[in-house]
């Protein structure tokens, strides 16, 4: 089984695969990627997928980047999140969360195996923080909710 963590990005800019890997390397992590750094399409400008293996004995973290107006899955996910948020009791946090989902322009969906290790959680946190910072994004984690820019839970979603 797996779960998803997402970054709801407010910016059209996005980090390259190289920038993501450089950030993880600077943080001291050892990992492998698919595609690999020496594959001809690794430096593809408008990348859609990246797999990061933080431990050869565990499932890799799979990133899928979906863009508004380009990927139909973006619109489907946006509608699903709006429906869930609109069913929650009205509050300023609910209103802010709806505004985030309405205004996002990219979704980074990270597919994570539920058997993730403690080192994997550290790796994932560094990865999510970097993508969120690089794209003016907000982190959403399944069964938890949407987090604000300071990493505090903005709104709970189950």
Asked whether residue 158 carries a pLDDT value surpassing 90, the answer given is: no
Number of domains in the chain: 1
- Both tokens assigned to 131: 């993508």
pLDDT value at position 20? 97
Query: Which region among 41-50, 115-124, 129-138 has the lowest average model confidence (pLDDT)?
Result: 41-50
What average pLDDT does range 83-104 have in this prediction?
97
Structural domain for 101, as ranges: 2-156
- pLDDT of res. 41: 86
Compute how many other C-beta atoms are within 10 angstroms of the C-beta atom of residue 70. 13
Type and span of the H or E element at 31: none
Q: What is the pLDDT of residue 40?
A: 84
Task: Give the Cα separation of 135 and 129 in Å (integer).
Answer: 10
131-152, pLDDT tens digit by residue? 999 999 999 999 999 999 999 9
């Amino acid at each position: 089984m797996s779960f998803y963590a997402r970054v709801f990005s407010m910016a059209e800019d996005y980090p390259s695969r190289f920038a993501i890997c450089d950030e993880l390397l600077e943080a001291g992590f050892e990992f492998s990627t698919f595609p690999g750094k020496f594959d001809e399409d690794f430096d593809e400008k408008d990348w859609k997928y990246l797999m990061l293996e933080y431990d050869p004995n565990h499932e890799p973290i799979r990133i899928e980047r979906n863009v508004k107006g380009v990927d139909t899955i973006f619109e489907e996910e946006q509608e699903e999140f709006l429906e869930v948020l609109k069913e929650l009791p009205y509050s300023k946090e609910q209103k802010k969360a709806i505004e985030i989902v309405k205004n996002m322009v990219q979704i980074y969906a990270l597919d994570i195996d539920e058997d993730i290790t403690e080192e994997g959680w550290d790796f994932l946190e560094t990865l999510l923080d970097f993508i969120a910072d690089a794209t003016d994004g907000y982190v959403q984690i399944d069964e938890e909710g949407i987090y604000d820019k300071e990493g505090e839970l903005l709104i709970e979603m189950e």
